[in-house]
Homo-oligomer: A and B are copies of this chain.
Amino acid sequence: MHDREVAVTFQPLGKTVRAAAGTRLSEIAAGAGIALDLPCGGEGICGKCRVAVRRGAPPPGAAEQRVFSQEELGKGWRLACQTVVRDAMTVVVPETSLLASYHKILADVRGTTETAIDPPVRKQYVELPPPDRKNDEADLLRIQRAVGPIEVGLELARELPGRLRREAFRGTAVLADRDLIDFEAGDTRAMCHAAAFDIGTTTLVGMLVDLNTGEELAIASRLNPQTAVGDDVLTRILHTQKDPAGLAELQEMVVAAVNEMIGELAADADAPRESIYAVSFSGNTTMQQLLLALDSRWLGEVPFVPAAGRGLLVEARTLGLRVHPRARAHILPVIGGFVGGDTVSGILATGLAAAESPSLLVDIGTNGEIVLAADGKLSAAATAAGPAFEGARIEHGMRGARGAIERVTVDGGLQFDVIGNVPAIGICGSALIDLGAELLRHRIISPEGRMAAPDQLPGDVLPDMRNRVVADNGQVSFLVAAETETATGRPVVLTQRDVRQLQLASGAIRAGIVILLRRAGLEPRDLKQVLIAGGFGNFIRRRNAQRIGLLPNEIDPKCIRYEGNTSLAGARLTAISASARAAAEELARRTEHVDLATDHGFQWAFADAMIFPEGE
């Protein structure tokens, strides 16, 4: 009976996995790449791994009776570590039950560019002389006399006379650029916040910033709920076409998640939502258009034309955002259909445009965006690298969360590190690069990417490495972690197909780099600086990335630098600085958008890059 398999669906991810009946839900989640927070070690004590079972909830156990109220139990709340799955089940995993440290990776915003606080919203406390017969100036002009020239919208203008008098002509003027957007009772200058968001295809990361200091006050992240519709941008664009309500649906999904994050950020910083006067969004072109509910059909068809191009400044509430009622939302300008606001953010946050010698920015995500700065010119391309480095399309791939093998080294034998020092669940992007490099070094895979069968391995392969090469029905794979080393009790392997995915992903990026350099009349060795952006780059062994040809091996590894989540960093800058918004606009427009597909040399470069470089 324990061999019977049941289907478990995790929401809002929309991921369904099959598992043996009798397995604990926490283990099934881990096997599906969902890193639940289990600080008590799965003993049912801490209650952190709570999930809502929507279908197939078993009767609650003693630990759950203690943690939950009867009402909660009635609604299906259970602890994943205590729930043994016997039948098909659908569970909703709240963001709060996920491993919190994951946030820290996503929100790694480095201050490579010092930005003066030049906030788009400022506050000024004023004590105005009350009107009398000798001073009957209009209310708005009275405020203007204290704060300088201002405009006002109808909504606030209607209330202003009453508010001024209730507060005896004292209070805090809130100014967004030249617009008076509020007049608050008392001195509220200390409460002046902005929220910055990286809207990723897979992950949303938000940050609350103090507009007085530019300081980061809180961080939140969660899965982009649109993943339930599809894991890549084209599937989502298709969804807007199949269903007339599809665009609104996707927009509401992401806004609902953003609103939840805003609630978390506000609670963490002990700040009211209404003290958030500015919100900035950075994401790829599709994510930004879906957030705004712009007609995105033509983003999914050749020649992939964006709707706006320019950064947009819109009223936050027209997007449904629950912040100050007259807050504005800024959305970064984009460079092209697949080179979006996240790339503009990267250029802005790294200061790439100011580089004195040829420099490259590589964002290793689904599209693998590349930007070259050389001779004062910027050019950018998207490479369609695919999501291999994010764990997708890899047999045991996963994101860089707890349980992920994130580092592989070979010294006599193979060793690996797992995030959280727990039994392994799968392989994340950095370990994929390590594995590719080590298997090349040990000639288990050929430069063409072919994994040798056990009986075809060169004679001098280390015994531990040799023993890990297994063949099953003619399919060769490489054992990374044995059953005894994993949380699932099943081995974690790298397959021949996984190696092909790695070749495609790193080859696409390398070919893009080659083409951008060639168009600028440069060679890889001319590069003086390579900046890596993305949620996992910190853990890339630079030599390994060069070994597999992801990054050019002609440059000194010391010139390769990790820059963290530059999309979030750019959103933060545009949230706290009006001049950063202007700079983003200028950078987006002066960056040449290179369509690799129309470059005559690209197909050759790609084919060439599919072959791993000759190496050590």
The distance from the CB of A241 to the nearest CB of chain B, in whole angstroms, is 11
Whole-angstrom distance between the alpha carbons of A396 and B595 in the complex?
83
Complex Cα gap A588–B534 (Å)? 56
In the complex where A595-B133, A597-B133 touch, is A305 in contact with B158 (Cβ < 8 A)?
no
Partner of A302, one of B133, B140, B296, B337: B133
Contact with B along A394-427 (1 / 0, CB 8 A): 0000000000000000000000000000000000
The reply to whether A131 and B310 form a contact with Cβ atoms under 8 Å apart is: no
Instruction: Write the chain B residue with the least CB distance to A297.
Output: B161
Beyond A136-B593, A293-B158, A297-B161, is A131–B305 a contact (Cβ under 8 Å)? yes
- With A131-B303, A161-B298, A314-B154 known to touch, is A138 a contact of B309 (CB < 8 Å)? yes
Bitwise interface map of A from 299 to 318 toward B, beta carbon under 8 Å scored 1, else 0: 00011111111101111001
The smallest C-beta distance from A464 to any residue of chain B, in angstroms, reads: 51
B-chain residues with CB within 8 Å of residue A133 when the two chains form the complex: 302-303, 595, 597-598
Q: How far is the CA of A310 from the CA of B154 in the complex (A)?
A: 12
Min Cβ gap A440→B in Å is: 36
Cα–Cα, bound, A68→B485 (Å): 94
Partner of A307, one of B132, B160, B334, B595: B160
A307 with B161: CB separation less than 8 A: yes
| A117 at the binding interface (Cβ < 8 Å) | no
Given contacts A152-B308, A160-B295, contact A598 B134 (CB under 8 A): yes
Q: How far apart are A481's CB and chain B's nearest CB, in angstroms?
A: 45
Whether A168 sits at the interface, judged by CB under 8 Å, is: no
Q: Which chain B positions have C-beta within 8 A of A139? A: 298, 305-309
Q: A131-B303, A154-B292 are contacts. A310–B161 as well, Cβ < 8 Å? A: no
Given A133-B302, A294-B158, the answer on whether A308 and B138 have CB atoms closer than 8 Å is yes
Distance A331 CA – B73 CA, assembled complex (angstroms)? 60
B161 near A305: Cβ-Cβ < 8 Å: yes
Chain B residues with CB below 8 A from A151, complex form? 313
Which B-chain residue is minimally distant from A313 (CB atoms)?
A: B151
Is A159 part of the contact surface with B, judged by Cβ < 8 Å? yes
A141 on interface, CB distance cutoff 8 Å: yes
Q: List 29 A-B contacts (CB under 8 A).
A: A133-B303, A133-B598, A134-B598, A135-B303, A136-B303, A136-B304, A136-B595, A137-B305, A137-B309, A138-B305, A138-B307, A138-B334, A139-B307, A139-B308, A140-B308, A140-B309, A141-B309, A151-B313, A152-B310, A153-B314, A154-B292, A154-B319, A157-B308, A157-B312, A158-B293, A159-B295, A160-B307, A161-B295, A162-B295
Task: Select which of B137, B161, B305 is within 8 A of A294 by beta carbon.
Answer: B161
Q: Which residues of the other chain, B, contact A165 by a CB distance below 8 angstroms?
A: 298
- State the Cβ distance, A519 to closest chain B Cβ, in Å: 14
Pairwise interchain contact B138-A292, C-beta atoms closer than 8 A: no
Contacts of A153 in B (CB 8 A): 314
Contacts of A318 in B (CB 8 A): 154
Q: Which residues of B contact A76 (CB under 8 A)?
A: none
Nearest Cβ on chain B to A305's Cβ, whole angstroms: 5
Q: Quick one: CB contact mask for A100-131 with B, threshold 8 Å, 1 for yes?
A: 00000000000000000000000000000001
User: Chain B: which residue is nearest A161 at the CB level?
Assistant: B295
Given that A157-B312, A312-B152, A312-B154 are known contacts, is A136 also in contact with B295, CB under 8 Å in the complex?
A: no
Residue A336, interface by CB 8 Å: yes
Q: How many angstroms from the CA of A403 to the CA of B106 in the assembled complex?
A: 82
List chain B residues, Cβ under 8 A from A309.
137-141
Q: How far is the CA of A442 from the CA of B133 in the complex (A)?
A: 43
